[in-house]
Amino acid sequence: MNAVLKTTYREAVRAALREALLRDERVFLMGEDVGRYGGCFAVSLGLLEEFGPERIRDTPLSESAFVGAGIGAAMNGMRPIVEIMTVNFSLLALDQILNNAATLLHMSGGQVPVPLVVRMTTGAGRQLAAQHSHSLEGWYAHIPGLRILAPATLEDARGMLWTALQDPDPVLIFEHGSLYNVAGELPADTGAVGIDRAAVRRAGGDVSLITYGGTLAKTLDAAGELSGDGIEAEVIDLRTLRPLDDATVIDSVRRTHRAVVVDEGWRSGSLSAEITTRIVEQAFYDLDAPIERVCTAEVPIPYARHLEEAAIPQVTDIVDAVHRVVGAGG
């Protein structure tokens, strides 16, 4: 019987970083406070002492500069992992990510891959206000040349990094800040996982709930509550936001005939809008009710706890949306 380890999401990410550093001498981590401080969310705690300052590099407060340095290192055969403190600050490196990292393989006719991994924290629910709390991964999912990952489980937090490092394209990993303290168990021999397919986290036949990242747990809680009402919801964890796994989503919708998309991004121009459109394009005649979306209110994320909770998707919002689509479907 395989041994099982008790761990947290934070510790799972740290274990993934440590394994990558041990397995490949080309791998190094850099970012603000990743070294002596141990990372702003304590993910890299202890790695500087184990691997030294050549491989755990504290950087100046310039996202454009250190993401650019990561791109250059990747072009020259290294396997850099760049940590950006929050997704909001990644906008300071957007030129590097969009105009350089995402385009160089194409513009060089396939001669210059950029095997760069950028990790960043995303999401609200921690009273960090409007400059540290937005969910902008849908913006990056718009950009060809990037792969966008959103690990929502301990297994994915532990296993996605090594697979991402093997990709010739730049990979952005979005870690929801509310997940770092989530505890659970993992097999001691847990290793790399695939990053091409969405996952069915709960089976059901009445409605498809499609989500990712920090809203997966809320969506599963909503599905449990709905079961008490006689509604069996299937929960799809997208896992990879670009490229989207249409097949898993469409297969689910064709069986349940109803869909609710849960997305912590803003509704307008959102990832939820893209998913909704793909369902309509590929499975319109399988739908028995209009698609519902549960998104963040279109405001900067408030600091006050009661306002923040009102602004972002909650279990009750998901349950209410499901009741609407089930009622609309007769």
Residue 185 backbone dihedrals phi, psi, to 5 degrees? -120, 145
How many Cβ atoms sit within 10 Å of the Cβ of residue 316?
A: 11
For the chain, the three-class secondary structure string (H helix, E strand, C coil) is: CCCEEEEEHHHHHHHHHHHHHHHCCCEEEEECCCCCCCCCCCCCCCHHHHHCCCCEEECCCCHHHHHHHHHHHHHCCCEEEEEEEEHHHHHHHHHHHHHHHCCHHHHCCCCCCCCCEEEEEECCCCCCCCCCCCCCHHHHCCCCCCEEECCCCHHHHHHHHHHHHCCCCCEEEEEEHHHCCCEEEEECCCCCCCCCCCEEEECCCCEEEEECHHHHHHHHHHHHHHHHCCCCEEEEECCEEECCCHHHHHHHHHHHCCEEEEEEEECCCCHHHHHHHHHHHHHHHHCCCCCEEEEECCCCCCCCHHHHHHHCCCHHHHHHHHHHHHHHCC
- CB of 151 within 8 A of CB of 160? yes
Structure tokens at 77: 């055969």
Residue 132 annotated in active site: yes
For residues 246, 248, 253 and 255, what is the CA-based torsion angle, rounded to 10 degrees?
Answer: 150
Please tell me which residue in 63, 264, 274, 308 is annotated as part of the active site. 63
Q: How far apart are CA 264 and CA 271, in angstroms?
A: 9
Please tell me which residue in 132, 234, 264, 308 is annotated as part of the active site. 132
Active site residues: 63, 132
